[in-house]
């Protein structure tokens, strides 16, 4: 596992940042299409399709084929 990958994951978690913003902050734009990095990220955190918040995978809920956080899932109409 790569220390940079962990740092980017940590910096995204609990924010509404776009992935490209975090990558730019760490001068790691080359990771945007790097599948091993993206697979690592998917195993650790996700971006809610409703609120845009990055959360740990333990807070993930799938509703109508959308990946949302448990908070958004509770209020899904």
Q: What is the pLDDT of residues 7-45, one digit of tens each?
A: 999 999 999 999 999 999 999 999 999 999 999 999 999
In 1-77, alpha helices (H) = 3-12, 19-25, 35-44, 70-74
Q: What is the pLDDT of residues 54-74, one digit of tens each?
A: 999 999 987 878 889 999 988
Long-range contacts of 9-13 (CB under 8 A, 24+ apart): 9/40, 9/41, 9/44, 9/45, 12/41, 12/45, 12/54, 13/44, 13/45, 13/54, 13/55, 13/56
């Amino acid at each position: 596992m790569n220390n940079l990958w962990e740092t980017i994951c940590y910096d995204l978690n609990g924010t509404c940042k776009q992935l490209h913003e975090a990558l730019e902050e760490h001068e790691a734009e080359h990771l945007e299409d790097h599948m091993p990095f993206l697979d690592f990220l998917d195993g650790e955190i996700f971006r809610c399709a409703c609120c845009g918040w990055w959360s740990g995978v333990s807070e993930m809920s799938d509703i109508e084929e959308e990946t949302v956080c448990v908070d958004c899932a509770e209020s899904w109409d």
